[in-house]
Amino acid sequence: MTYPRKHLLAIEGLEPPHIADLLDLAESYALLNRSGKTQRDLLKGRTLINLFFEDSTRTRTSFELAGKRLGADVINMSVSTSSVNKGETLLDTASTLNAMHCDLLVVRHGQSGAPSLLSQKVDAAVINAGDGTHEHPTQALLDALTIRRHKGRLEGLVVAICGDIAHSRVARSNVHLLTTMGSRVRVVGPPTLIPAEASRLGVEVFHDMKAGLAGADVVMMLRLQRERMSGGLVPSAREFFRFYGLDAEKLAHAKPDSIVMHPGPMNRGVEIDSAIADHPTRSVIGEQVEMGVACRMAVLDVLAHGLRRNV
Ligand code: ASP
Ligand code: CP
pLDDT at 307: 84
Q: What is the pLDDT of residue 308?
A: 65
In angstroms, rounded to a whole number, what is the distance separating the alpha carbons of residues 133 and 130?
A: 8
Compute the residue count for the chain: 311
Which residue's CA is the closest to the ligand 1 atom numbered 1?
A: 264
Model-level pTM greater than 0.75?
yes
Per-residue model confidence (pLDDT) at position 311:
41
Going residue by residue through the chain, which has 311 residues, state the pLDDT in tens, using 9 for 90 and above: 678 899 999 999 999 999 999 999 999 999 999 998 877 899 999 999 999 999 999 999 999 999 999 999 999 998 988 999 999 999 999 999 999 999 999 999 999 999 999 999 999 999 999 999 999 999 999 999 999 999 999 999 999 999 999 999 999 999 999 999 999 999 999 999 999 889 889 999 999 999 999 999 999 999 999 999 987 778 789 999 999 999 999 999 999 999 999 999 999 999 999 999 999 999 999 999 999 999 999 999 999 988 865 44
Q: How far, rounded to the nearest angstrom, does the alpha carbon of residue 52 sit from its chain's CA centroid?
A: 14
Report the separation in Å between the CA atom of 170 and the middle of ligand 2, taken as the mean of its atom positions: 10
What is the Å distance from ligand 1's center to 263 Cα? 7
Residues at CB less than 6 angstroms from ligand 2: 56-59, 130, 139, 263-265
d(CA 261, CA 170): 12
d(CA 231, CA 125) in angstroms, rounded, equals 37
Q: Which is the closest atom of ligand 1 to the Cα of 108?
A: 4
Ligand 1 atom with the smallest distance to the CA of 139 is 2
Give just the sign of the alpha carbon dihedral 174, 176, 178, 184: positive
Burial 167-197 (b: 16+ CB within 10 A, else e): bbbbbbbbbbbbbbbebbbbbbbbeebbbee
* Conformation bin of residue 290: beta by default, left when phi > 0, alpha when psi is -120 to 50: alpha
Q: Choose which residue among 223, 268, 270 to substitute to test ligand 1 binding: the one with the highest number of ligand atoms within 8 A of its C-beta.
A: 223
